[in-house]
Amino acid sequence: MDHGKCKNIASILKILAHPQRLFILCTLMDTEKSVSEIESLCGASQSVVSQHLTRMRLEKIVDSRKSGNFVYYWISEPDVMKLIVFLKAQFCHE
């Protein structure tokens, strides 16, 4: 594994290390969601959710589309999706 790849993986792990961002990614596992849907599920303010989504979009972990007055987000990085699925299976026994 080269230095560049390690740097990329470390960046992704930094994103996942924040509980709110990890929770947001878990809410996006099954389907895209609007900011207001994510806000409702996370119990966080719109500005906090938007800040986290913006950071993850800049890191190319999530992507978005606008439809009318709503912006919808989804996990755009397949390896991050695999990691979230793995983490949920290992640690989120519901």
Cβ contacts of 94 within 8 Å, gap of 6 or more:
none
Please list the ranges in the chain whose pLDDT falls under 70: 93-94
The pLDDT of residue 42 is 92
Over the stretch 65-74, which tens digit does the pLDDT of each residue have? 999 999 999 9
Cβ contacts of 92 within 8 Å, gap of 6 or more:
26
Over the stretch 21-33, which tens digit does the pLDDT of each residue have? 999 999 999 999 9
Kindly report the number of other CB atoms within 10 A of residue 74's CB atom: 15
Q: Give the distance, in angstroms, between the CA of residue 45 and the centroid of all CA atoms in the same chain.
A: 16
Domain ranges of the chain: 3-91
The pLDDT of residue 3 is 86
CATH fold for domain 3-91: Arc Repressor Mutant, subunit A (1.10.10)
Residue carrying structure tokens 């303010």: 45
